Amino acid sequence: MTRLAALEQAEVVYGRGPVLGPIDLVVEAGTITALVGPSGSGKSTALRLLAGLEPPSGGRVTRVVERGATAMVFQAPTLMPWADALTNAALPLELSGVPREAARARAAAALDRVGLADAAAKRPAQLSGGMAMRVSVARALATEPRLLLLDEPFSALDTPTRRRLLDDVHHLWSGASTGARPGVVFVTHDVDEAVYLADQVVVLSPGPGRVAAVIPVGGATPRPSGFRASPAFHEAVDRAGAALIGAMSA
Amino acid sequence: MTTGLALRRLAPLALFLALLAVWEGACRALQVPAYFLPAPSAIWSDLLAGWRLILGSAAVTFGMALAALLIASIVACAVALAVSLNSLLDDAVRPLAVALQVTPVVAIAPQVSIWAGLAHPERAVIALAAVVAFFPIFSGAATGLKSADPDLERLFDLYGASPLKRLLRLRIPAATPFLLEAHKVAAGLAVVGAVVAEFVAGSGQTQGLAWRIMEASNRLRTAEEFAALAVLAALGLLFHGAMQAFEAAALKFWSGR
């Protein structure tokens, strides 16, 4: 598999003290890695290191993907309130230098993929929370990223919407041909969510976060409808949950 | 319109009319001399008699306030834009801007009158009113230009946006609500600034409302003075109302709601 980015003994120290690491993490194309850990364990910081948005205080960050081939979805939809959904979805492409018309055509296709073709002209204030988050996902997908970083993107949504969006992301990822699948890193507090989406769950200890456990997740891809009821799902949830509790009480 | 909303709209007018009635009644009952406190009916009569002159003065004051607001807006936005691009410049400019804000207009009016040319008091009035209106616009614009969602800033970082693209596509649009609010506040201050500046730097050549008030006061024509004051209050309310309506419409357009 192609290595896209890696943290090697990477650590981050702010003025108030260390917040992450040292930590090792490798992201490969076509894989989904979930990062779970308590609040303050540095999950989002790890994501920003992988995105190249901040330098490590120590250790090394290796990024094979070029800058424009990384996409990020944040906790909030993070849309421009003054622009419609289509303009929001086209933003990364336009910033990367794609001509306006081509960028908007690709953004329209991405909105279609998340089921929002009819909402292209709507402003964020005219969208529900779930729809706004879909626009945010479409904005990331429009760039056809090789590295997709998801920073607790569904945490503010109600359970049914969260599950639906989780299914959508997984189907969009698994629907791509094997060679075209991006490497995904998914930060979440929710162990069930992590196991449902990921090939492996990396459990971080309380801050400064270090890797406390790596739990591989079996099961078919794309996830079958009954996956949440399967023994593989429950076994992985139990192991990841136990690792998380162990890390928090250590 | 619901009854509650109608009552809410009518409440200020009802209070105003009630105060006028009390004022009128008190003046008549106590036989207050007109030079001391004229009754509203006397002020109204004076306003009707001299409305051309007072409205002409109001137009002069409004013109100077508008010019001051325009100049303050251009200078303040340009300075705010410059400091938003350079934190060192921000550190350098802020103390000066605050010093300008806390300096009373009357303290600098004599010198500004000399700089503007004694034959052009309207220039001094406009400059002084612009000084008064400068700070809220500068402060609002500087704050607004730093108000973009940090995650959107990260998104612009992620795709290597140029400073110009970041400014045009993120920071200026994000600053819009702050700019609108700042201009609304500055509009009222520009009127106040124009009147105060005319008191101290007008020297009778500007013929704005401040001059009308001063002249009436000096001649003990208190009703005429109050008529000019009433027009000044109405001018302030209209200017503020117009800015508020513009802000509401612009924000509706900005947010799509």
Within an 8 Å CB–CB cutoff, is residue A1 touching chain B?
A: no
Q: Is B31 within a domain?
A: no
Within an 8 Å CB–CB cutoff, is residue A128 touching chain B?
A: no
Residue numbers of A between 5 and 34 with CB closer than 8 Å to B: none
Q: Is B41 within a domain?
A: no
Chain A hits for B149, CB-CB cut-off 8 Å, are 76, 78
Contact (CB, 8 A) for B171 and A107: no
> Could you tell me which chain A residue has the CA closest to the CA of B153?
A78
pTM: 0.84
DSSP state of A228: G
- Calculate the alpha carbon distances from B12 to A43, A51, B18, B187, B248 in Å: 55, 56, 10, 22, 21
Radius of gyration of chain A (CA): 18
- φ/ψ of residue A43, rounded to 5: -60, -50
CA distance A92 to chain B (A): 6
Residue numbers of B between 150 and 169 with CB closer than 8 Å to A: 151-152, 154-161, 165, 169
Q: What is the mean pLDDT of residues B172-191?
A: 94
Within an 8 Å CB–CB cutoff, is residue B91 touching chain A?
A: no
CA atoms within 13 A on the CB side of B106: 5
CB contact under 8 A, A95 and B165: yes
**Residue A201, pLDDT score:** 93
CB contact under 8 A, B160 and A76: no
**Residue B203, pLDDT score:** 64
Coil, helix or strand at residue B115: helix
Q: What is the mean pLDDT of residues B96-120?
A: 86
CB contact under 8 A, A82 and B255: yes
Radius of gyration of chain B (CA): 23
Distance CA A24, CA B158 (A): 22
Within an 8 Å CB–CB cutoff, is residue A68 touching chain B?
A: yes
Best residue of A93, A94, A95, A131 to probe chain B, by most B CBs closer than 10 Å: A95
Among the partner-chain residues B152, B158, B256, the one whose CB lies closest to the CB of A123 is B256
Domain carrying residue B68: 55-255
CATH of the domain at B62: 1.10.3720.10
Residue B155, C-beta contacts closer than 8 angstroms, at least 6 positions apart: A72, A78, A91, A92
CB contact under 8 A, A80 and B158: no
Q: Is B106 within a domain?
A: yes
Task: Indicate the range of A19-33, A121-135, A163-177 predicted with least confidence.
Answer: A163-177
- Higher confidence at residue B28 or residue A169? B28
Count up the domains in chain B and report the number: 1
**Residue A177, pLDDT score:** 67
> How much of chain A exceeds pLDDT 90, in percent?
50
Tokens matching residue B38: 């004229």
**Residue A232, pLDDT score:** 85
Q: What is the mean pLDDT of residues A119-141?
A: 92
Chain B hits for A75, CB-CB cut-off 8 Å, are 151
Q: What is the mean pLDDT of residues A156-160?
A: 80
Q: How confident is the model at residue B110 (pLDDT cuts 50, 70, 90)?
A: confident
CA distance A238 to chain B (A): 33
Q: Is B163 within a domain?
A: yes
Count CB atoms within 10 A of the CB of residue B89: 13
pLDDT digits (tens, 9 = 90+) for A221-248: 777 778 888 888 898 899 989 988 888 8
Q: Which range among A230-234, A238-242, B31-35, B170-174 has the greatest average pLDDT?
A: B170-174
Contact (CB, 8 A) for A154 and A194: no
**Residue B168, pLDDT score:** 93
Within an 8 Å CB–CB cutoff, is residue A53 touching chain B?
A: yes
Distance CA A141, CA A112 (A): 11
> How much of chain A exceeds pLDDT 70, in percent?
98
CB contact under 8 A, A82 and B157: no
Q: What is the ipTM of this complex?
A: 0.87
A64 pLDDT more than 80? yes
CB contact under 8 A, A78 and B155: yes
Task: Identify the residue whose tokens are 């959904």.
Answer: A85
